[in-house]
Amino acid sequence: MTTHTPNACPFCDARNTVHVPLLEMKHWRLYRHADPTPIAGWMMLAAREHRSGLEALQDLESAEIGLVLRALAKATQEVTGADRIYSITYNEAVQHFHLHIIPRFATDDRTKSWALADFYRSVASGTTPAIDSNEATRIAEKIAAQLRALLPNL
Ligand SMILES: [Zn+2]
């Protein structure tokens, strides 16, 4: 089993250039999915402090995450036009609590339920083209701005 200490954790390593937060809240940081990105608007929400999973969250982090998730889902839906918004958390490869927030489009069966995992692997392997990096950043920055507007005090 791989374990991560805070110094080896990509979310805790200040020198990490792959995971750069687009928005910082009291207890949470918002990122876009690193390249290759399957879907524009695929976001990640991570605890500011190193927490191994849901069970390790502190009271204030737990209290805030519901408000942040609802607002992030609204912002992602408004910016991307997605029909639904998925959220997934494993914390396996990177054992620092983070959620994937994923736009689901009714017109694209690759984004539906567990088919999403196949789509993800296809993009990760290079079989299916990823979203252009600049476009992924542009959409993610719009979502971050919308989230900040929805939650100006967090
Ligand atoms: Zn960490």
Question: Domain map of the chain by residue range?
Answer: 6-150
Q: What's the CA-to-centroid distance between 70 and ligand 1, angstroms?
A: 23
CATH of domain 6-150: 3.30.428.10
Q: What's the CA-to-centroid distance between 57 and ligand 1, angstroms?
A: 13
Q: What's the CA-to-centroid distance between 13 and ligand 1, angstroms?
A: 7
Reported pTM: 0.92
Reported as a single tens digit per residue, the pLDDT across 14-54 is 788 878 899 999 999 999 999 999 999 999 999 999 999 99
Question: What protein residues have CB closer than 5 angstroms to ion ligand 1?
Answer: 9, 11-12, 50, 96
Reported as a single tens digit per residue, the pLDDT across 94-135 is 999 999 999 999 999 999 999 999 999 999 999 999 999 999
Q: Tell whether the model's pLDDT for residue 2 goes beyond 60.
A: no
Dihedral class, residue 106 (left if φ above 0, else alpha if ψ from -120 to 50, else beta): alpha
